[in-house]
């Protein structure tokens, strides 16, 4: 399982390396929390579906 992920950060408005801060298994799949080290923006991903703004 990856500990970092490259994502376009909505606050920094550029690609950042997000770090996984938590993970757990739910009945829906695996839940992961990711955090940007630059601005502390975070999002959650469950079974490949994320909460990033569109």
Q: Which of 31, 32, 33, 35 is nearest to 11 (CA)?
A: 35
Residues with Cβ within 8 Å of 49's Cβ and at least 6 positions away in sequence, in order, are none
**Domain extents in the chain:** 4-50
In the prediction, which pLDDT does 54 show? Answer: 79
Pairing between strand 14-26 and 49-50?
unpaired
Q: What class, spelled out in words, does domain 4-50 have in CATH?
A: mainly beta
User: CA-based diameter of the chain, in Å?
Assistant: 33
In the prediction, which pLDDT does 29 show? Answer: 92
The tens-digit pLDDT sequence of the chain (54 residues) is 689 999 999 999 999 999 999 999 999 899 999 999 999 999 999 998 999 987
CA distance 29 to 5: 19
């Amino acid at each position: 399982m990856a500990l970092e992920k490259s994502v376009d950060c909505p606050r920094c408005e550029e690609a950042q390396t997000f770090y996984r801060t938590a993970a757990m298994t739910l009945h829906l799949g695996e839940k992961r929390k990711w955090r940007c080290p630059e601005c502390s923006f975070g999002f959650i991903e469950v079974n490949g579906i994320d909460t990033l703004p569109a």
